Amino acid sequence: MTSPAAADLLAKLRVHGAVPRHVAIIMDGNGRWARERMLPRPLGHRGGMKAVREVVEGAIEAGVEVLSLFAFSQENWQRPAGEVSALMSLLEEYIQKEADELDEQGVQVRMLGELDRLTPPALKAVERVMAQTAHNTKMRLNLFISYGSRAELTRAARLIAEDVAAGRLTPGQVDEAAITSRLFTADCPDPDLLIRTSGEQRISNFLLWQVAYTELFISAVLWPDFGRRELYEAILDYQNRDRRFGRVPA
């Protein structure tokens, strides 16, 4: 639900400047949120799931075109088995609960990453929601699952090598566009704004190629407490930035 404070911020950012077309978020701090409440870590992730819902709705209302959420990294597979299985179940639950509403809201859901590592039920749920929402155009929601940016770039290099070996591409044709078009995000603009929650100041192997000129916003708020209001504060801050892309001001 939009609080009066969030509604006020939304009204402000609408007149203040351009809304970022693509917002990416590293959702961090679920574990610390749970620890502060003496709860098991999976309950922190459950709190994180609620925040996902709130932020998706907030992004739609603000007019964001693409929202990218880092939900599960390749490194996260090394967490204790109980936590990994809780996260997989939560992913299934999220899809089960939200698929119809996301579809009604016009959201196209895409899951990006090494999906063949998912449990069969999670993979089935992922395929179902992607097929159900494929026709939607209001906002694109990229959920990065089992994702690592170095692995994504390595995969792109391998695909290019295969094309060169097969004679479909010459080495001289390998340019930035050749790499960009072989990334999971090939059909998305680069993120304009990257938000990381919980105060950590790292990129953590997320969209390394794509964030070359992205504006960064570090929020001290732990992800389960992040909502519309915090999203809109980050967008307002972004609107005050002077984006030069390496050039001098006009």
Residues engaged in binding ligand FPP (CB under 6 A): 27-32, 45, 48-49, 52, 71-72, 76, 90-91, 94, 143, 223
What stretches of the chain show up as alpha helix (H) in DSSP? 4-16, 30-36, 41-62, 81-104, 120-133, 149-165, 176-180, 228-239
Catalytic residue, chosen from 28, 30, 190, 192, is 28
Closest CB 50 distance from ligand FPP, rounded Å: 9
**Is 28 tagged catalytic?**
yes
Name the closest residue to ligand FPP (Cβ).
Answer: 31
Q: List residues bridging with 147 in a β-sheet.
A: 73
Q: Nearest to residue 206, comparing CAs of 184, 222, 224?
A: 184
Please, which residue, 12 or 50, has the CB nearer to ligand FPP? 50
Closest CB 114 distance from ligand FPP, rounded Å: 16
Closest CB 43 distance from ligand FPP, rounded Å: 11
Please, which residue, 91 or 123, has the CB nearer to ligand FPP? 91
CB within 8 A of 201, min separation 6: which ones?
218
Kindly state the tokens that stand for 246.
């390496």
Please, which residue, 19 or 143, has the CB nearer to ligand FPP? 143
Please, which residue, 13 or 73, has the CB nearer to ligand FPP? 73
- 65 residue type, one letter: E
3-state secondary structure of 104: helix
Kindly state the tokens that stand for 229.
């209001």
Closest CB 52 distance from ligand FPP, rounded Å: 5
Kindly state the tokens that stand for 185.
């995000």
Distance CA 160, CA 156 (A): 6
Please, which residue, 84 or 169, has the CB nearer to ligand FPP? 84
Beta carbons of 27 and 250 less than 8 angstroms apart = no
Catalytic residue, chosen from 76, 103, 205, 225, is 76
**Is 76 tagged catalytic?**
yes
Instruction: Give the residue numbers marked as catalytic.
Output: 28, 76
